Structure 1
Amino acid sequence: MFQFNKLILILYCFFSATIFSQEITLFQQFNGRYDYTAIGNTLNPFENNLDRSFCEILPESEAELALNPNWNIVAAYLYWAGSGTGDTEISVNGNSFSADTTYLVDYADPNYGLLTYFACYTDITNYVINSGNGTYTFSELDISQTLTTNSGYCNNRTNFAGWSMYIIYENTNLPINQINIFQGLEIINRNVQDKTILLENINVLDNIGAKIGFLAWEGDVNLNYGESLLINNNILSNPPLNPANNAFNGTNSFTGSDKFYNGDLDVYNIENNIAIGDNSVEIKLTTGAVDEFGVIRADLIILNNIITVLNSQLPDATIVVDNYELECATRNVNVNFTVYNINSTDILPNATPIAFYADGFLVAQSATQNSIPIDGFEALSIILNIPDSIPDNFTLKIIVDDIGNGTGLVTELNEFNNITSQQITLIPIPEATPLKPLESCDLSFDSAIFNLTEQLQYIEYVNIEDISFYESIVDLFAEENEILNPEYFENRAAPQEIFIRVNSEICFSFYNFNLIVKNCPPHIPQVFTPNQDGFNDWFDIQGLYNIFEEHQLLIYNRWGTLIFEGNNDLPWKGDINKGIINHGNRVPVATYFYVLHLNDNNFKPVTGWVFITY
């Protein structure tokens, strides 16, 4: 539900662990009609700076939570801290809780060596929602062994323990605010005298009600060495509780108490320290001063968290890939995606640009079509054509509010959550599987009849309905001009390439083969009757004419005399065209000898006898 902005420090990723010397970074962000309050108390009976002999903490302390009836709790976070490496198991009203995260920091004391301090955090939202208003008693924080075994804490007067609870609530009467919680654990001391945090990517539209709070440990009211809190280089104060030069002084701004010994749970109004139109806020905390002897004096301050409340009305575009579809035999990807404006305080305008990158290369651009309201979304789609230079397996990155070069047009609450990625593997464009040629006898002029389905015995398929035949690869890919009668197909060229497409659930496979028209041995009749009755009137040699177009036919009588010579244009009809005698006349009934020269290297001359009768 909640997303966050990036600070100048490394973004903190929340997990259950122990973290050493964790810098204060953004932990959580809330955008809406939200505000917060805080309760807590110390476990020190008095300020440890006053008495070196004091080296104990109280077994428990309590605080009152009193929320208005129309305040709806959104989140509740519990913090506790003290000297040593920590106690991660504590109780609230007799209920046990464990730390989600423990932070540790070290301080190199010039007299007592390395001293460690801890702070713990846990989410207790559900417990506080169920418990509601009343007294919260914090107990079972035990650091006695730490204080007993290492006298440095008491001797340098940094023995402390305490707790606090932040409660984020919603109220419909509130303005739209942005609440940022920053947490970690940092020491400010004579060696590190200031801490600066820059809040970016905000847009202050109204500074009314702007405030900042913090939880710090080990501050002493009697150690007043230039402790200050600055916003945009303006020192904050709310005297007499928190003077300008002693910000860390054991106070609780929520109750007005100055008995929050060795802890500070404070909040400041910063309406006059930010301006409408500001897009960043600088927070600076300091300690340390030079005394009259030139020696640096400083209170040791352990900063646990900072919280800001700013009226910042901005959209927050995020994007998610819902699904994608691959197109077979193309490099097209149909992407369905949704642009959200969930964690926002303003409308995301229409025409917000969207850029699409494949392995880092810009491949397409789009934009939102409509203004997206707060907590709204818009579902969109696009067909991407992936260039051939991109491998089949690539990372698709979609960035909302990107004009195609990493530059955005819309100022957002969070400029670092505009990206979504999707690993995509294209369906490879199928390659043809060659089959052996299909042959058929020439019927005339290199034309033949083929049964294309004879090739099915050599391919893999499930259903015959998935198979189709085509005369070109273009038609195959487009599934156009299918051969409708593949069992009786007459070729259009010799040779001619034919393609078979086999559709599958995901894509298809295809095969190619050639149609070969071959010259088959002619069939020669043994008798014919040239009596002009319209039946068997000539020497009709099947498979010869317009096939063996260069053939030569020689006819001899029984005495061996050549009486006829024919070719593709001159078939024998029983007449004589050779010799002087009977030239042009028909031959008598008899048996005649023929020699057929096919003039084809694959065939020898054919000889035989034919009988003519009338």
Structure 2
Amino acid sequence: MKKYFYIHYFLLVGLTLPALAQDVSLFQQFNGRYDYTAIGNTMNTVENGTLGPCTILTSSSANLSLNSGQNIVAAYLYWAGTHTGDFNISLNNIDITAERTFSDAIDSDRVFFAAFADVTSIILNQGNTDYTISNFDLNAVIAPYCPSGTNFGGWAITVIYEDSNLPLNQLNVYDGLQSVPDNLSISLDNLNVLDNENAKIGFVAWEGDRSIAVNEQLTINGNVISNYPLNPANNAFNGTNSFTGATNLYNMDIDVYNIQDNINIGDTSATIALTSGQDFVMINNIITVLNSQLPDATITIDNDTVSCGDTTIEVFYTVHNTNSTDVLPANTPIAFYSNGDFIGASVTLNAIAINASESNSIYLNLPEDIDPNVTIIAIVDDDGTMTGVVTESNENNNSDYSEIELLIIPEIIVLPNLIGCNEGLEISSYNLFEALKTLDYEEDDVAFYLSLEDLETASNSILIPSDYNNASNPETIYVSIVSDPCYEIFQFDLTIENCPPYIPQGFSPNNDTKNDWFNIQDLYDIFTEHELQIYNRYGDLIFVGNNEKPWYGKINRGLNNIGGLAPVGTYYYILNLNDPNYKPFVGWVYVNY
């Protein structure tokens, strides 16, 4: 049960003469209470042959008669004939165009075609009635084929129906176009036969001749099968319809065989061999009906969650057990791949009933340097080594994929510094929005952070960015601005400068708690190395102060009145900030009581 990303389900290994033929392979599978019937008719008036008339009909009919309780679920029309093809015909006056075509050949001069169309809607609409194929005209092309008896035309409709009285079956429809020149071997795999009662195999074949019976056999697992007298063991391709008992389907066969004695309970495969020692026969359609109870695990990727700048993604998925005949067991493994690399695993949590499903999600960690356009492949019943652990009715529908685009964050854009005046101890108040004045943004789309990690996790944003006090000098601020599909990142530094102090013109040191000292604003704890000198009107130095010693009007220099208050009057000051950006400030201050 090996799994591949791209799986071709070849059921048929054989040899055909020309390279034009298409191997018969699985087309559709139905699991449930299903069975089938087939109708059809030839366009030949008699069996072809070297002495037969070189004419052919352009229309023919057959009757469909299903029992009550047999509900149509699918109907497939196949038609075939001589030459390269008539792919536009009519069914009960409804135009039909081939949806798929096939070809085969005996040699370069004798080529043949077959065609397919899904006619389910027509059969559902018209039900039990006569069905007529018309506008199927090969008269203009058959002449070169008549001398060798290879002129033919015909059609068949395979009708699959559901019936509640039937056991749980697996019905497989295989098609293609392969000839049986001598020995054609067909291997049917992925079986799980639980009961061989009423097991059957049927086929639609073209160009068989009743009069040719040379080593013409059908065998199942080495046993010759037949429906005597309709299909003798040595003349399998003899122009008959096993469903209706018709014996006049010249140069075509719609046959079905009971094979319950030729396949065993527990079988997982069966081998069909077709031989014809002389007759050139082409197989177009094979159908098997077996009581084969198996789950059928499929998976769909439903959605995904991608975070900005994050290579961890959450993938939402659903495991289905649709079109199955048994429960899918719990703990069925699920593997996830990216670029061919295994990146994660999960399991089903519960047993999944027939036609039921289970949804879940998984976080997948992708490489940091991965391309932003990622293809995620999910495979159910895969243990991470492309190997399954559950026997399924169809091993080739276990995967799904999704194209996911990671949200890559652009490079950080550095903005000019935001400068604040030192309000003391290198702390300032900032309106952080002022750093964004050159940008076009909505205020609600902006968030400020103190670290890139906080920004990426959208945590610990600055609560009041319009009035923020820095914690260090300098301090880096990170900004996210919403920008579809993600966001942009900016950064800028908060820096401090010592702004010029404001010097009042006077004060009154009378201990009334109002204006009691020479309060030079934006000076103390900012220009910490400053020196303040006070002179009286005679030019005598009466006070020297610094960052720890403001002037409260007391005299601390001179010969007299040290420690006393300076008299009312005007005094001259010299304020030396000891800052290379500023010259000393000089002026007058008035002291009053």
TM range (shorter): 0.7 to 0.9
User: Counterpart in 1 of 2:576?
Assistant: 597
1:67-119 Cα offsets, whole Å, 9 max, x none, are 222222222233332322233344555665444434222212xxxx6211222
What does 1:178-257 align with in structure 2 at a 5 Å threshold?
178-189=170-181, 193-257=182-246
Q: For 1:547, which of 526, 530, 546 is the aligned residue? A: 526
Instruction: State the shift of 1:172 in Å.
Output: 0.9
Structure 1 residues 572 and 127: alpha-carbon distance in aligned structure 2, compared to 1, 3 A threshold: closer
Instruction: State the shift of 1:313 in Å.
Output: 1.2
Does residue 521 in structure 1 map to residue 503 in structure 2? no
Q: Could you tell me whether the CA contact under 8 Å between 1:335 and 1:381 is conserved in 2?
A: yes
Higher deviation after alignment, 549-558 or 514-523: 549-558
SS in 2 for 1:429: coil
Distance 2:228 2:400 in 1: 49
Instruction: State the shift of 1:602 in Å.
Output: 1.1
Higher deviation after alignment, 341-350 or 559-568: 559-568
Distance 2:61 2:212 in 1: 26
Q: For 1:335, which of 308, 315, 318 is the aligned residue? A: 315
* Aligned partner letter, 1:144: N
Q: For 1:309, which of 289, 308, 320 is the aligned residue? A: 289
User: Counterpart in 2 of 1:25?
Assistant: 25
SS in 2 for 1:126: helix
Instruction: State the shift of 1:559 in Å.
Output: 5.8
1:275-334 Cα offsets, whole Å, 9 max, x none, are 22222222221223xxxxxxxxx2222222222111111111222233333334544434
User: Counterpart in 1 of 2:266?
Assistant: 277
Distance 1:77 1:551 in 2: 101
Distance 1:452 1:227 in 2: 92
1:492-531 Cα offsets, whole Å, 9 max, x none, are 2222233444456754445433222211222334445556
Does residue 119 in structure 1 map to residue 114 in structure 2? yes
Does residue 165 in structure 1 map to residue 157 in structure 2? yes
Distance 2:248 2:201 in 1: 21
1:175-213 Cα offsets, whole Å, 9 max, x none, are 111222222222232xxx222222222211211111111
User: Counterpart in 1 of 2:249?
Assistant: 260
Instruction: State the shift of 1:375 in Å.
Output: 1.9
* Aligned partner letter, 2:499: C
User: Counterpart in 2 of 1:419?
Assistant: 399
Q: How many residues were matched structurally?
A: 582
Instruction: State the shift of 1:30 in Å.
Output: 2.0
User: Counterpart in 2 of 1:379?
Assistant: 359
Q: Could you tell me whether the CA contact under 8 Å between 1:320 and 1:339 is conserved in 2?
A: yes
* Aligned partner letter, 1:303: I
Q: Could you tell me whether the CA contact under 8 Å between 1:7 and 1:200 is conserved in 2?
A: no
Distance 1:538 1:184 in 2: 106
Distance 2:423 2:494 in 1: 14
Q: For 1:6, which of 9, 13, 35 is the aligned residue? A: 9
User: Counterpart in 2 of 1:347?
Assistant: 327
User: Counterpart in 1 of 2:85?
Assistant: 86
User: Counterpart in 2 of 1:512?
Assistant: 491
Structure 1 residues 575 and 419: alpha-carbon distance in aligned structure 2, compared to 1, 3 A threshold: same
What TM-score does the superposition give when structure 1 sets the normalisation length? 0.84
Higher deviation after alignment, 328-337 or 517-526: 328-337
Q: Could you tell me whether the CA contact under 8 Å between 1:351 and 1:370 is conserved in 2?
A: yes
- Structure 1 unaligned residues grouped into runs of 5+: 11-18, 289-297
* Aligned partner letter, 1:378: E
Q: Could you tell me whether the CA contact under 8 Å between 1:5 and 1:413 is conserved in 2?
A: no
* Aligned partner letter, 1:264: D
Structure 1 residues 542 and 218: alpha-carbon distance in aligned structure 2, compared to 1, 3 A threshold: closer
Structure 1 residues 94 and 606: alpha-carbon distance in aligned structure 2, compared to 1, 3 A threshold: closer
What TM-score does the superposition give when structure 2 sets the normalisation length? 0.87
User: Counterpart in 2 of 1:145?
Assistant: 140
Q: Could you tell me whether the CA contact under 8 Å between 2:409 and 2:486 is conserved in 1?
A: no
User: Counterpart in 1 of 2:76?
Assistant: 77
Structure 1 residues 481 and 157: alpha-carbon distance in aligned structure 2, compared to 1, 3 A threshold: closer
Q: Could you tell me whether the CA contact under 8 Å between 2:409 and 2:487 is conserved in 1?
A: no
Distance 1:212 1:306 in 2: 7
Structure 1 residues 137 and 525: alpha-carbon distance in aligned structure 2, compared to 1, 3 A threshold: closer
Q: Could you tell me whether the CA contact under 8 Å between 1:358 and 1:390 is conserved in 2?
A: no
Could you say what the CA RMSD is over the residues aligned between the two structures, in angstroms? 3.2
Distance 1:500 1:61 in 2: 79
Structure 1 residues 9 and 556: alpha-carbon distance in aligned structure 2, compared to 1, 3 A threshold: farther
* Aligned partner letter, 1:514: D
Instruction: State the shift of 1:174 in Å.
Output: 0.8
Q: For 1:175, which of 163, 167, 192 is the aligned residue? A: 167
**Overall identity of the aligned pairs, in %:** 50
Structure 1 residues 496 and 59: alpha-carbon distance in aligned structure 2, compared to 1, 3 A threshold: closer
Distance 1:248 1:352 in 2: 45
Distance 1:195 1:142 in 2: 31
* Aligned partner letter, 2:307: E
Instruction: State the shift of 1:591 in Å.
Output: 5.1
What does 1:552-563 align with in structure 2 at a 5 Å threshold?
552-556=531-535, 562-563=541-542
Distance 1:326 1:39 in 2: 54
